[in-house]
Structure 1
Amino acid sequence: MTREGPGSAPREPREPTLTEQARRAQLIDVTVRLIAEHGNAGTSLARIAEAAGITKAAVLYHFRSKDALVRAAHESALTGLVEHVGGAVGSVGAERAPAAYVRSMVGYLRDRPGHTRVIVDAVADSEDRRSSERWRPLADLMHAARQAHGTGTEAGSALDLRTTALIVGGGIDAIVAEHLDHPGYDPLAAAEVLVAMLDRTLFP
């Protein structure tokens, strides 16, 4: 092993090989599934290793601790949701963006119940995640929608976008939770009801 001499520049972190990247992705997928099935507390390092078909030492080669792997699983689930919703919102005009936000959020979480439970777990575990990170993007979409519609420029058209975004976010959470508890409940139909309510609020 080559040692760094005095005054030498620190080495750049080595890029993981394709095999290592594939293994890390597998471990994240396994962890997402186990958290969805057993919760964070019930997802031990030993259980992750067994489900992945490798040893605990091999897991720790790729992630320095269970907590680091769980954080990676949380980020993976959240990133997937953000990218999906962002793509749906970006594919429509500003006026229909809030509706696309609601529909894509509910649709993504309906189709991925495992990710849904992991995302709920991630938000609950995050001590520094501010509530504004949830409501502000939707409030911005609603503001742009009203501007595009012409509503935001009319006299007396003031609307508390923060409160409206919080209410819509709570509605999405409730729809998804009801579907998780009662699989026969139709979340997409409920999303359409929420969209209709939102439209009446944004464009009176």
Structure 2
Amino acid sequence: MTGRTPTFTERARRAQLVEVTVGIVAAHGYAGCSLQRIADAAGITKAAVIYHFATKDAVIRAAYDAVIEALVGHVAERIAEAPTAESKADAYVCGLIGYLAAHPDHVRLIIEAADGDRGSPGRWEPFAGLIDDAKASGAYRPDVDSRMLAILVGGAIDAAVGQSLREPAFDLHTAAEAVVDLLHRAALAAR
């Protein structure tokens, strides 16, 4: 597409292609996704897909960006609803796991398309900031290493979500409660 503003119809078609791509990558993996498979699933020609996305990587990147935007929006809403610094950290954990539990196709796309981003050094920095806020409010002990705790709790989140992919009956809601309990045991100040 050119640099012009897309029409309503073009935006709707791009959204459809993104949604179809999420499903294909979730079902068949990155390697099993192709422009032709996307076209077939959307009921259009491959040329029509290319009109909107020049390459397979471009449409997968758009799908990944849409999934991350939805995930971040969901977690941000949960954090905004939480009344205290401590409950904001809890909301981060529960919001993240809850969203991923409700959207397993998004989890699979994130894993397939992250292309190395999953281990980026700043991945857990927003969570570390929430832990810092809880420390500043007095809810968490002042000696807690926020970055370290965010990375460790993040690893527990990754492990729980990964287990749910291998074992569909794995209860992510119970896992979220366990991860929050782990967070509290590591960080809560004496009351």
Regarding TM over 0.5, the answer is yes
The yes-or-no answer on 1:137 pairing with 2:126 is yes
The yes-or-no answer on 1:45 pairing with 2:30 is no
Give yes or no for contact 2:26–2:108 (8 Å, CA) kept in 1: yes
The yes-or-no answer on 1:108 pairing with 2:108 is no
Superposed displacement of residue 150, structure 1: 5.2
Aligned to 1:3: none
Letter in 1 for 2:9: T
> Of the candidates 147, 150, 156, which is equivalent to residue 162 of structure 1?
147
CA distance 1:151–1:194, change in 2 (3 Å): closer
Give yes or no for contact 2:25–2:109 (8 Å, CA) kept in 1: yes
CA RMSD of aligned residues (A): 1.6
CA–CA distance in structure 2, aligned partners of residues 140 and 122 of structure 1: 26
> Of the candidates 176, 185, 194, which is equivalent to residue 161 of structure 2?
176
CA-to-aligned-CA distance 1:17-73 (integer Å, 9 cap, x gap) = 100000000000000100000001100111010000000100011111111111101
CA–CA distance in structure 2, aligned partners of residues 175 and 130 of structure 1: 16
Superposed displacement of residue 13, structure 1: 2.5
> Of the candidates 74, 77, 80, which is equivalent to residue 87 of structure 1?
77
Give yes or no for contact 2:21–2:38 (8 Å, CA) kept in 1: yes
CA–CA distance in structure 1, aligned partners of residues 178 and 58 of structure 2: 40
What stretches of structure 1 of length at least 5 have no aligned partner?
A: 1-11
SS at match of 1:184: coil
SS at match of 1:132: coil
CA–CA distance in structure 2, aligned partners of residues 150 and 29 of structure 1: 41
CA distance 1:130–1:36, change in 2 (3 Å): closer
> Of the candidates 43, 67, 79, which is equivalent to residue 77 of structure 1?
67
CA-to-aligned-CA distance 1:128-176 (integer Å, 9 cap, x gap) = x762331111110001012113545xxxx31221111111111001111
Q: Where do 1:57-72 residues align within 5 Å? A: 57-72=47-62
- Structure 1: which 4+ aligned runs deviate by more than 3 Å? none
Count of residues in Structure 1 that have an aligned counterpart in Structure 2: 187
CA–CA distance in structure 2, aligned partners of residues 150 and 176 of structure 1: 27
Aligned to 1:120: 111
CA distance 1:72–1:143, change in 2 (3 Å): same
The yes-or-no answer on 1:196 pairing with 2:172 is no
SS at match of 1:13: coil
CA-to-aligned-CA distance 1:75-128 (integer Å, 9 cap, x gap) = 1111111111111111112221111011111110011000011111232x146x
Letter in 1 for 2:145: D
The yes-or-no answer on 1:147 pairing with 2:148 is no
Give % identity: 47
Letter in 1 for 2:42: A
Larger radius of gyration: 1
What stretches of structure 2 of length at least 5 have no aligned partner?
A: none
